[in-house]
Amino acid sequence: MRRLISGPSRGPTIALALCLVGATTARAEQSRPVYEGAGGDPRISISQPESTSQASGGYTRSIEPSLGPLGDPLGLRPELKARGIEYSLTYIADLLGNPSGGVRRGTAVSDRLNLRLNLDLERLAGWEGATVHANAYFIHGTGLSRYYVGNLLEASVIEALPSSRLYVLWYDQQLFDNTLGLRIGQQAADTEFFVSQTATAFVNSTFGWPAITGLNLPSGGPAYPLAAPAIRAKYVPGNGFSLQVGLYDGDPAGANRPGDDPEAQRLNRTGTNFRVHDPALVLAEATYAYNTKPGSEGLPGDITLGGWQHFGRFDSLRTDITGLPLADPNATGIGRPLRGNAGLYAVYDQTLYREAGKDDEGLGFFVRAAYSPTRSSLVTAYVDTGLAYKGLIPGRDDDTVGVSVAHARLSDDARRADNDTIRVTGQPMPRRRAESVIEATYQAVVVPGFTVQPDLQVILHPGGGIANPRDANAGRVKNAVVLGVQAAVQY
């Protein structure tokens, strides 16, 4: 889990600055969303939300038209876009608390300002099919999971070490009539791999970059808030098929230990380390999307099969370099080195119902499953699933409501390590087994580009069922209820 630096949130100041900077002239053509699918794929989920804090987020609308003459006093945005320069800003703020359960009760506020810049080199310099993209984060606040709940599946996807950091910076070249895309630079895997478009409706971090990768890979893998130098190739031959492969530096921060540890974020605090000498991480996936063309009679959906292989060395969760249990007083404390980490996953996204005469209202379903058999894995099995409906309430056509469940099963070696500790110390203690989260959420579109999202989560067996670190006699950390709200402004 991330260890966050506490401090006052500067959300109101940033929000005011965003409103001042983000004012622009209303344009009628922006009154409806741009239909893009999360993860860079064709949009197949009719219930993909208006906005999302997940890194793979798809189509959005700007608050620009609602700001009237304050929006773009100098009229620069249309001029820049015509020349191939586009920028956008997104401000997200979370207020979350756990009125019951967890390590202790409390409330946390966090916020993030995201600045994106896209350069179309064909318009700028006549370089056909070439694009440069940059993304920077300005993160503030504290984290509920780290300080209060003690869970592995973090309650908010924007929870991270307060910092100002470069996230991604890459060059993309489209070839062969846009059937092959090559991308090189600092990239994040969670924006393209293992993505469910319907799952982007939810606030918990595991519905973006699933816990099985975030907890097993060094520094949490190339995912928010850390990206890594990479080369990615994506082949789209047509008829709904696509294949993509990414080769990443395997340790975005150089922490040389698995999991999204806050110490790792401190090692790459500005996102500019650009590490290229660590053992490699390879991700690959194939997707088949169907009924995505306009006029298709069937309901759209897609099926994705993928996997990852990390070629580095990992410390054993249970034994030291001499073969003794790590819990043994005579152990060295240095885990026995294990070679590599790997896993397979599948994603199924399906629109179940589309309202008559509507292109963007209806019910969507998703399920993702993954398995990581390597002994270096803290999480060996993972599954999440959920439903989301866009336009359920009459007169609220753009609102999205959803319910979801995620479950992460911890490895046999993690449980055996707990057994070793009990045997060596003679003291009873809980044995870790699994953690689950149930989430219900409702995203209300106040005006296009401005959403407010009340959220409820129930965390079952925080930390996998660990003992309460604040009270040795209290047994396991109690199941937690997390209540809160997320607000997002996009310009």
Amino acid 226: pLDDT? 94
- Highest CATH level, class, for 11-490: mainly beta
Each residue's pLDDT, cut to its tens digit, for the chain (491 residues) gives 333 333 333 343 333 333 333 333 333 333 444 457 888 888 888 889 988 989 888 667 888 888 888 888 788 888 999 999 999 999 999 999 999 999 999 999 999 999 999 999 999 999 999 999 999 999 999 899 999 999 999 999 999 999 999 999 999 999 999 999 999 999 999 999 999 999 999 999 999 999 999 999 999 999 999 999 999 999 999 889 999 999 999 999 988 888 777 778 889 999 999 999 999 999 999 999 999 887 788 899 999 999 999 999 999 888 889 888 888 888 888 889 999 999 999 999 999 999 988 888 999 999 999 999 999 999 999 999 999 999 999 999 999 999 999 999 999 999 998 888 888 888 888 889 999 999 999 999 999 999 999 999 999 999 999 988 887 777 889 999 999 999 999 99
pLDDT for res 369: 98
pLDDT value at residue 292: 87
* Cα–Cα–Cα angle for 192, 268, 377, rounded to 5 degrees: 60
Q: Where are the domains of the chain?
A: 11-490
Q: What is the pTM of this model?
A: 0.89
